[in-house]
Amino acid sequence: MSFEAIRGQEKAVRLIRAGLKRGRVAHAYLFSGPRGVGKRAAALALAKALNCPSAPPDACCDRCHTCRRIENGNHPDVVRIAPDGASIKIDQVRRLQREFAYAAAEADYRVVLIEQVEAMTVEAANSMLKFLEEPVTPMVAVLIAEQEDAVLPTIRSRCQRIRFAPLLPEHLEASLTREGVDPAMARIAAHVAGGLDEARRLVERDEFARLCEQVIKWSGEVLAGRGNALVSLQTEWMKGNPDRNALETVLELMLLWLRDLLNRRLGRTDQEIFTPWANELSRQSAGWTPSRLVQVMDCVIQARRQLNGPMQPQSVLEQMVLAIQEGSLHARSDRSPLSTSG
């Protein structure tokens, strides 16, 4: 993949290419941003541009023998390191130091790509610090992280930091559609996922459409104040002890559905995401005011935050359901037009 093929990261790509064009390449970069937004693709494009014999300094042809080998991961002078289990260990960094003590076999620049650099052990990070401070051969290190602040300050300070922005849903949707994903499912996944990799994982699951159906049904139970909303929580969402990521996806879908209900109440049907469920949108949105829907969305956002805290996930979701339904009861007792139509 060339720089031109990296979509939605124009600022980051422009910074990288400007350094290449001026011949001012940093000895170490820190690429940070959400998963699946193009950090690894940009690192590979940088490695190609540094070594491609057929393109200008700030580009790569993506066709020559050198570019193809780098893309396929079999170039001897472009090395990738990823966590061995849960972390990057000191033995991996020491092995890298030994390997880079020798001159490049073929390339002008040796390049090392270190993925999930925030997963380094303290010992590995200290060893990496020495490696960055005292490069033996002409080399460029590209450190890749989701959270820049999770990388040790001493390492950050020795890198040129380039931030990659979350991809716009429109970019994700277009990419998924080009890959043959059903447009309706691509649209939903693009608005839920934080990056292309996550969006792909969602739509690759055969049950993604069924998951959407479940969330829509459960949202209707919660909004209507029905007691079986807590039963569904037990039988559907907590079954099999799901991890927090799976529950976060449920809440993201629920929040997106609530936004569609709000758009339906405001007459903004062109902004709706769950287009295959237009009839259900009309049914669930009936009788609710925009202000009440915003309050419900706030409850879901709060629950999403609490999932990353010390509370048990089941308690978080139960409290969310009760908070939403308590608001519904208050609304009805005040003779407000907020009660749902079943």
Question: Does the pLDDT value for residue 49 go beyond 70?
Answer: yes
Mark whether 155 and 210 lie in a shared domain: no
Q: What is the pLDDT of residue 338?
A: 33
Gap between the Cα atoms of 233 and 224, Å rounded: 15
State mean pLDDT over 248-268: 95
Residue where a domain terminates, one of 135, 163, 191:
163
State mean pLDDT over 111-129: 91
Q: What is the share, in percent, of the chain residues with pLDDT greater than 70?
A: 94
Q: What is the pLDDT of residue 339?
A: 36
Gap between the Cα atoms of 95 and 112, Å rounded: 12
Looking at per-residue pLDDT, the higher value among 35 and 257 belongs to 257
Mark whether 148 and 73 lie in a shared domain: yes
251 with 290: CB under 8 angstroms? no
Mark whether 145 and 73 lie in a shared domain: yes
145 with 115: CB under 8 angstroms? no
303 with 320: CB under 8 angstroms? yes
Residue pLDDT, tens place only, 56-80: 999 999 999 999 999 999 999 999 9
Inside any domain, residue 182: no
Mark whether 151 and 241 lie in a shared domain: no
Mark whether 141 and 83 lie in a shared domain: yes
Question: Does the pLDDT value for residue 98 go beyond 80?
Answer: yes
The token pair at 91 is 């033995």
Mark whether 19 and 138 lie in a shared domain: yes
Residue where a domain terminates, one of 163, 184, 215:
163
The amino acid sitting at 12 is A
Inside any domain, residue 15: yes
Gap between the Cα atoms of 220 and 264, Å rounded: 15
Mark whether 143 and 12 lie in a shared domain: yes
Q: What is the pLDDT of residue 332?
A: 40
Q: What is the pLDDT of residue 328?
A: 55
CATH label of the domain that carries residue 32: 3.40.50.300
CATH label of the domain that carries residue 216: 1.20.272.10
Mark whether 13 and 87 lie in a shared domain: yes
Mark whether 97 and 237 lie in a shared domain: no
Domain that holds residue 93: 3-163
Gap between the Cα atoms of 139 and 109, Å rounded: 5
State mean pLDDT over 152-160: 91
Inside any domain, residue 91: yes
Mark whether 133 and 211 lie in a shared domain: no
Mark whether 245 and 100 lie in a shared domain: no
Q: What is the share, in percent, of the chain residues with pLDDT greater than 90?
A: 58
Inside any domain, residue 312: yes
Residue where a domain terminates, one of 134, 163, 192:
163
N- to C-terminal Cα distance for the chain? 52
Inside any domain, residue 341: no
The token pair at 315 is 């308690």
Which of 23-32, 131-140, 231-240 is least confident? 131-140
Inside any domain, residue 65: yes
Average of per-residue pLDDT values in the chain: 88
Torsion of CA 283, 288, 293, 294, to 10 degrees: 140
Q: Domains in the chain: how many in total?
A: 2
Question: Does the pLDDT value for residue 333 go beyond 60?
Answer: no
